Amino acid sequence: MIGHTACVGGSVSADIVLNNLKNIERKPQNLVKALRVAQEVKGYLPAEVVEAAAKHVGVPYSRAFNVATFYHLFSIEPLGKYRVFVCMGTTCYLKGNKENLQYLKSLLNIKEGQHTSSDGLFTVEEMRCLGCCSHAPVIAVYMPNGARKVIGRATPEVIQKLIDELRKEARERGWVK
Amino acid sequence: MNRCCLKCWHKPPDNPCPNYVQCRIKGPLCHDDPECRELRARRLNELEFGRYGVKVRVAIASCTLAVGAAEVYEAIRDYVKESGLAIDISVVGCHGLDFIDPWIEVVRKGYPPAIYANVSPEEVEDIISRYLSGDVSKAFALRYRTGNAKGEFHVPTLDELVFWRKQVRLVSSNCGLINPESIEEYVVRGGYLGLARALRMRPEEVIEEIKLAKLRGRGGAGFPTWIKWKAVKDQVSDVKYVVANAEEGDPSAFSNRLLVESDPHILVEGMIIAGYAIGASKGYVFVGTEGDLAAERLKKAIEEAKKYGLLGENILGSGFAFDIEIVQDAGRYTSGEETALLEEIEGKRSTPRVRPPYPVTKGLWGKPTVINNVETLAHAAVILRDGWDRYATIGTEKSGGTKMVSVSGSIKRPGVYEVPIGTTIRTIIEDIAGGAPEGLKLKAVEVGGPAGGFLPVSEINIPLDYDTLPKLGVAMGSGVLVAVDEHKCMVDLARQFMAFFVSESCGKCVPCRVGTKTMLSILERISSGKGSEEDLELLKELGETLKDACLCALGNGAPIPVLSSIRYFKEEFSAHIREKRCPAGICPVSREVVRYEG
Amino acid sequence: MRGKVKVKVDGIEVEVDPGSVVLDAIKKAGIPMHSLCQAGELYRGASCRLCLVELPNGKLVPACAYPVSNGLEVYTRTPRTLRTRRTTLELLLAYHRIECWICKRKGDCILVKMANDLRLEGIPICAECPLHSDECLLNKGILCLGPLTVAGCEAECPATGGRCWGCRGPITREDVVVRALRRYRELGFTLKEVIETAEIFWSAHPFLEKFKLLAEGV
């Protein structure tokens, strides 16, 4: 009920992605589903993974690529271990997520126009709405294991604490020094 | 566990009992047996108060999880384990009073069920031990009084609280009360009675019922639901589909999420009813990216309903078969548009289709398809359960029933409230949601999501319905109300909305793809103090074009926040343009001025 | 063969085959219509929104994709359709790389035709000029102001052998002007002489100052 099914994180080969795709029925309508799984397993969608997914569901690579570049959940570029989404919905924007985003980016030393921190741990993205507007401003973290953590009433202090925790976790797991 | 007693012969799908649902609630019906009656009474008691007579309900939904409900749940579990108390812990959804999140409710037979607000893990022990000693004085509210507990009369009951009293909870009546993962609790509270009733009627009678109830689509456009259903029913096709749109794309809309997370069965029931009325055998629920929990609970609900013979082959012996599949969005605002949603279910980019042909004739895979918002389908279940006559008395002359509204922003009591259609926005904002927090004054209310628009506070004395709002240049949309206080800048907000549309436009049609970008660059010019009077005219002209020319409703709605803020807050735009200052001190133009003065 | 469908276009009644779209009926009625896809068998995705027509209920629908039905009435030139079409074309042009002097369409430009019809300025004379590539006056060393002048005269002077003097006024879109000035320089003209030529007709034009500034930056 709370938590999520664990997935393999990090740099996995296309074979493992293919293995995970096995449970998905081979029909074109499952393209989005297949890409979702691939994104979750691999962490991002490099060309060979998109191609594998396309082959699996039986659509041309061009169409799979077209879908992979359309949706916000997919990324064809490598992402950080932790994907931090800053909600930019009306309420969150009003309640200060604009400042939170700036703070987060400066905290992680992410420059304008970039999304991933130099140590490869965090990717900061803007999100449409998480549906927790009552507790605005909200940020969400997609953990490497696929679980999602939503943090309401975010302030710079809360963000600082969160990043410290995640950094600690990353160090414990040996992802960074 | 799907038989009510040993004598029950309900065995789906080969030998289903048509009276199964009624029997679960009022039974045993087919025989009279004291043993069965006792069994039933025991089961009902257990559902209400748990196996040991004491039950703690913990609200677990996306909203409560965001403020630490998982930790509260763990604290309760640990406390119960360590103390060895005989207490059942049950997960419930959220009843929409988000300002008390995370909340728990403790129930004990003979005592008033007490709701505790803003619970922290540390408080758990104190709350439960006090409650068990018969003291409810620390509670936020009580469901009802029994007169047995200490401090009971210092705590209001929910019905005494204005934000509860002024609501009419039809579709959300189960939210926060039942375990969303338990079909038993849903059925006991009258669930699937609507389905049982519908299956005894002819499909056209079901549609007639919806028509008489004056149900209109809750997704935004307010299209009469029965017309849609009838159009699909009249189509000759071997395959038809029901699609429930649970992708709540509009920022600040969260009522659908709350409904599906807290009471997934009402959606399942509504979909089966719709499927029966139009002759479809397959349904899809389209859940948004953020709807992981909703999808999880829905999946469980579908499984359970199948086990109980309420879904699948030969439902309740009617010969009608129906199946539901869940599809989750990969994140795009346009996915909430009905035809774009079909594209995504088909595994493509979610870009809107050209209409006609409308989905009612050529929808999913070219087959007739009914696409309804989840709330609409939930309303259908309620109408079939209660009958149209009761339903139609609520609401306005042209549209019956209630609407769930999501209230957030600068407001005392943010949350989801269900009010009769036609309730004034002022009632919702000031009475129910409590108005602005201390020390702040409201300036505007955003009505109906990004495509809805802004209304100044002086104009909010109008009823929330499908016919009045468009006259003021806004729309009902998804039932969003965002309160904006005086310290916010309307130009900045309009700019942010446009930035949202620029990043979310699917790029298919020219007016939306280029128009939103052009409008954004003009708004950026204004907010940086480089705008001119002509820019306002240009914005209006572009806005009118987008309203008329875009391919889908999302594009048509894109300029509305800008147009409505120019309409009602022109002086703020003028301040940016003429005086080169931002009255709220938010836009970059004013920062320079502040620095200069300081 | 089933019977034909009667459609009224701007009050003119025409009969078309069932299953055709409004645009077919408009063509049959002999009414000129703005549309990008009517010429060839292009993808009819109703994406450009230039062929919007008005229905009696006030709805705007794309003529290229809206199916005909018996008794359908459409209006092609109401103030609303014209205004929308004009703005949409303007938006389309805003993202169109206007470099008509090297464009392959050789004066046969659907955009400039539509723009002229909708009284939209901003496309240079070259879009209408039949003298392209080798025949272009600029290639022959003649300082023609075509690239900087608003189209609409069907390139009368260049078409008859003379150069354009800019009598219709300057294009005020900066990126177009900058590209045109670069072209002049590439072909060996000095920007000073371009400005001097332009001053004949535009010496009091409010854009001239800006024009000079742009020339300095090129």
* Domain locations along chain B: 50-160, 183-393, 402-485, 490-597
Residue B565 CB burial class (10 angstroms; 0-12, 13-18, ≥19): buried
Per CATH, domain B50-160 is 3.40.50.300: no
Chains within contact range of chain A (3+ C-beta pairs < 8 Å): B
Per-residue model confidence (pLDDT) at position A10: 46
Per-residue model confidence (pLDDT) at position C139: 86
The verdict on a CB contact (< 8 Å) between C80 and B518 is no
Kindly state the average pLDDT of the residues C79-95: 91
Rounded CA gap, B417 and B259, in Å?
Answer: 11
Cis peptide before B16 (omega within 30 of 0): no
Per-residue model confidence (pLDDT) at position B590: 56
Give exposure, B3-29, as e/b (b: 16+ Cβ within 10 Å): ebbeebebebeeebbebbbbbbbebbe
Rounded CA gap, C1 and C6, in Å?
Answer: 15
For residues B324 and B284, the answer to whether their CB atoms sit within 8 Å is yes
Kindly state the average pLDDT of the residues C101-108: 81
pLDDT at B263 over 70: yes
| Any domain includes A74 | no
Kindly state the average pLDDT of the residues B202-222: 92
How many Cβ pairs closer than 8 A exist between chain A and B? 149
| Any domain includes A3 | no
Strand A82-87 and strand A122-127: pairing?
A: parallel
Question: What CATH class is the domain B490-597?
Answer: mainly alpha
Decide if B510 touches A, using CB distance below 8 A.
Answer: no
Alpha helical stretches, state H, B394-509: 425-426, 490-504
B62, B252, B347: residue with CB nearest A91: B252
Q: What is the pLDDT of residues C13-58, one digit of tens each?
A: 999 988 888 888 998 899 888 888 765 555 667 888 888 999 999 8
Secondary structure class of B437 (helix, strand, coil): coil
B66, B99, B292: residue with CB nearest A151: B66
Rounded CA gap, A26 and B345, in Å?
Answer: 15
Per-residue model confidence (pLDDT) at position C103: 85
The verdict on a CB contact (< 8 Å) between C46 and B515 is no
**Architecture of the domain spanning B402-485:** Roll (3.10)
Give just the sign of the alpha carbon dihedral B542, B564, B409, B525.
Answer: positive
Distance from CA of residue B62 to its chain's centroid?
A: 13
The verdict on a CB contact (< 8 Å) between A29 and B347 is yes
Rounded CA gap, B325 and B286, in Å?
Answer: 9
B positions 369-398 inside 8 Å of A (CB)? none
pLDDT at B597 over 60: no
Together in a domain, A62 and A95: no
The verdict on a CB contact (< 8 Å) between B408 and A133 is yes
C47, C66, C80: residue with CB nearest B509: C47
Q: What is the pLDDT of residues B456-512, one digit of tens each?
A: 999 899 998 888 888 887 778 888 999 999 999 999 999 999 999 999 899 899 999
Q: Is B509 left (phi over 0), alpha (psi -120 to 50) or beta?
A: beta
Measured between beta carbons, the chain B residues lying within 8 angstroms of C88 are 510-511, 515, 545, 549
B252, B350, B493: residue with CB nearest A129: B252
Decide if C19 touches B, using CB distance below 8 A.
Answer: no
pLDDT at B598 over 60: no
Q: Which of B3-17, B46-60, B180-194 has the lowest mean pLDDT?
A: B3-17
pLDDT at B1 over 70: no
Identify the DSSP state of A160: H
**Assigned token pair, B298:** 């829905």
The mean predicted confidence, pLDDT, of chain A is: 86
Together in a domain, A30 and A59: yes
Rounded CA gap, C117 and C152, in Å?
Answer: 9
Q: Return the bridge partners of A98, or none.
A: none
Per-residue model confidence (pLDDT) at position C154: 87
Measured between beta carbons, the chain C residues lying within 8 angstroms of B511 are 49, 84, 87-88, 91
Together in a domain, A163 and A124: yes
| Any domain includes A110 | yes
Give which of B60, B341, B408 to mutate to test A binding, by max A Cβ within 10 Å. B408
Q: What residues have CB less than 8 Å from B93, skipping those under 6 apart? A: B59, B60, B61, B174, B175, B176, B178, B180, B258, B261, B262, B263
Q: Find the closest chain A residue to B299 by CA distance.
A: A1
Rounded CA gap, C197 and C208, in Å?
Answer: 12
B positions 314-333 inside 8 Å of A (CB)? 327-333
**What is the share, in percent, of chain C residues with pLDDT greater than 90?**
27
Q: Which of A7-21, B11-25, C121-135 has the lowest mean pLDDT?
A: A7-21
Q: Which helix (H) or strand (E) holds B514?
A: helix B510-527
Give just the sign of the alpha carbon dihedral B330, B331, B332, B337.
Answer: positive
Residue B141 CB burial class (10 angstroms; 0-12, 13-18, ≥19): buried
What ipTM was assigned to the predicted interfaces of this complex?
0.88
Confidence (pTM): 0.91
Torsions phi, psi for B291 (to 5 deg): -95, 35
Per-residue model confidence (pLDDT) at position A7: 37
Q: What is the pLDDT of residues A5-52, one digit of tens each?
A: 333 344 566 777 778 888 888 999 999 999 988 888 888 899 988 998
Measured between beta carbons, the chain B residues lying within 8 angstroms of C94 are 514, 518
A57, A72, A150: residue with CB nearest B65: A150
**Assigned token pair, B439:** 């020390």
Torsions phi, psi for B377 (to 5 deg): -65, -35
Question: Could you list the residue range(s) of the whole structural domain that residue A35 is in?
Answer: 14-68
Q: What is the pLDDT of residues B64-110, one digit of tens each?
A: 999 999 999 999 999 999 999 899 999 999 999 999 989 999 999 88
Per-residue model confidence (pLDDT) at position A3: 33
The verdict on a CB contact (< 8 Å) between B254 and A66 is no
The verdict on a CB contact (< 8 Å) between A32 and B344 is yes
pLDDT at B260 over 80: yes
For residues C87 and C115, the answer to whether their CB atoms sit within 8 Å is no
Q: What is the pLDDT of residues B178-204, one digit of tens each?
A: 999 999 899 888 899 999 999 999 999
Q: Find the closest chain B residue to C93 by CA distance.
A: B514
| Any domain includes A75 | no
| CATH superfamily assigned to domain B183-393 | NADH-ubiquinone oxidoreductase 51kDa subunit (3.40.50.11540)
Residue B66, CB-side half-sphere exposure with 13 Å CA sphere = 27
Rounded CA gap, B6 and A77, in Å?
Answer: 59
Going along chain C from its start, the domains and CATH numbers come out as 5-81 (3.10.20.740), 96-217 (no CATH)
